[in-house]
């Protein structure tokens, strides 16, 4: 399951210990990069990143894809389909563009489009959803640009910087 040579500037492929960026652990410890992620609560090392990759690759309900630049094969981030319910055929999507120099270039929405195609065509899922911290406007806009729709707001759902904040819910149906 990969999207290499798809005509896009980026491609997705299952993340492995052989293809992940040596910068990955650094991304996970950079508050600016992870401030809207649940992973921000734990310090990450190269070993913990490798353990996470192994865990995801052994899972039957999670798929972790690396986001790579088509022209250089540089690993710039990750996108996952997680919590898959095979009976009801849905899963949640989370993403991270770890290389700051690639923020604001539209790679997140391209990755969302590609992971949506994988979910519907290869995994035969019917629905994907995502929760996005209010304040993470870049992610929210990327999902909307990729054709997802806003379906609600969970009030005071997340704790961040000493206060409770809302969480947007977005989804897409096959």
Cβ burial of 127 (10 Å; 0-12, 13-18, 19+) is middle
- pLDDT attached to residue 158: 87
Query: Tell me, what CATH number does 85's domain have?
Result: 3.40.630.30
Q: How far is CA 134 from the centre of its chain?
A: 17
Domain presence at residue 171: no
99's CB contacts (< 8 A; 6+ apart) are: 21, 23, 27, 74, 76, 77
- pLDDT attached to residue 45: 83
pTM above 0.85, yes or no: yes
Domain presence at residue 150: no
Q: pLDDT tens for residues 98-153?
A: 999 999 999 999 999 999 999 999 999 999 999 999 989 999 999 999 999 999 99
Q: pLDDT tens for residues 63-108?
A: 999 999 999 999 999 999 999 999 999 999 999 999 999 999 999 9
Number of domains into which the chain is organized? 1
79: containing domain? 10-126
């Amino acid at each position: 399951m990969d999207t290499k040579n798809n005509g896009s500037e980026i491609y997705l492929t299952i993340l492995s210990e052989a293809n992940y960026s040596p910068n990955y652990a650094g991304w996970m410890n950079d508050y600016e990069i992870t401030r809207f992620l649940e992973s921000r609560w734990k310090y990450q090392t190269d070993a913990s990143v490798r353990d996470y990759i192994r865990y995801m690759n052994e899972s039957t309900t999670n798929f972790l894809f690396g986001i790579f630049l088509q022209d250089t094969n540089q690993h710039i981030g990750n996108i996952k389909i997680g919590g898959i319910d095979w009976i009801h055929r849905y899963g949640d999507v989370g993403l991270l563009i770890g290389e700051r120099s690639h923020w604001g270039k539209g790679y997140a929405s391209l990755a969302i489009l590609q992971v949506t195609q994988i979910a519907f065509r290869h995994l035969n899922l019917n629905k994907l959803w995502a929760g996005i911290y209010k304040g993470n406007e870049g992610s929210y806009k990327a999902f909307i640009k990729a054709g997802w729709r806003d379906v609600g707001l969970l009030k005071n759902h997340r704790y961040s910087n000493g206060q409770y904040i809302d969480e947007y819910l977005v989804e897409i149906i096959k």
